[in-house]
Structure 1
Amino acid sequence: ENGVCIPKKECPSCRGDPNAEAGCGMLCVKKCSNYWKDHLVCPKICEINSCTCKEGLVYDENIKKCVNYWECTQVCGQNEEYSNCTNGGCHGAQYCSDDINKPVKCVKPKECKKGCVCQKGFLRNQNGVCVAQEECPDNEQCK
């Protein structure tokens, strides 16, 4: 990492991902989010002490592992983030139509649903888009 030579056995292990190889990772890799794009403009610069997915696999940014493209988790939109449990945890309002003054409730579901949720400070509007809380139409909370 800082240019000091170390024994090979002490090299990074790619977070224990058996589908990744340590070494010279390229700055531009096939990811779930760009898998279907034909032409990626990529600088051929080595990123020392990084990891690259093995041949035929793509990097899933949500779970931070290399997977087959058909195993990719959902790619989230702008102002969204991936969650392993969208229906659990502690959270307040999630939609513009929710009462933002209600106390935060905590839920522990029997089975979690994976997917995208709005990032902190954003709420989902009636079109399903995550917008800044202050951008929510005033009348949506009156419904």
Structure 2
Amino acid sequence: MKLLVMFATSEADEQFSRAVDKTHRCTVARMAFNATGTMKLIILVLLLAIACSSFGSRIMRGKRRRRCGKNEVYRRNFDGCEATCEEPHLICPDIGYNDEVAGCACKEGYLRNKDDKCVPEECANEFQGESSEENSSWGKKRVCGRNEIFRYCFDGCEPTCEEPERRCSQVCRFVGCACKKPYLRNENGECVPRNVCTSYRS
């Protein structure tokens, strides 16, 4: 009888041991699965955070866009250099890709005039210069009219017969022809002496 009990106890211990081993293996497998699932969840959350950040950044950039004027279009990677009525074949230097540089440019078929407005490209026919200046780095001739001088840093603003004391900023928006000093731009777009300006008062 004692031997039978000992055998039964031994058999029970062996079965219990097997059960514990199986439970252990299942527990390890379950933990491994949970760990993998957790990592997947973490990766998913990170990807969502990156996507939301990128989308939010695009929204903010879109909000920073200012409204463009008539015959203008908003362009990314634009530094303000563009063809004008005076320089219809202006070649702008390549600034490379820069998403932070953007602004309003004239639509296709339009050129910027001296009043900073985009007008039909036929305006270029009005400028037939008498003198020229060669820029070897861009390899093209730049022609200016009588009493004008070519400027590489020019924003289109200059004193006129109507505003002889006009103050202009030093923003280099584009290159172009400006009146030589002390000439003033009259209503016909010509550079004339101050005493010739009909609206100028000494």
TM-score norm. by structure 2 comes to 0.32
More strand by share: 1
**Relative to total residues, which structure has the larger helix share, 1 or 2?**
2
Greater length-normalized contact order (CA 8 Å, ≥ 6 residues apart): 1
Structure label with greater radius of gyration: 2
* TM, length-normalised to structure 1: 0.42
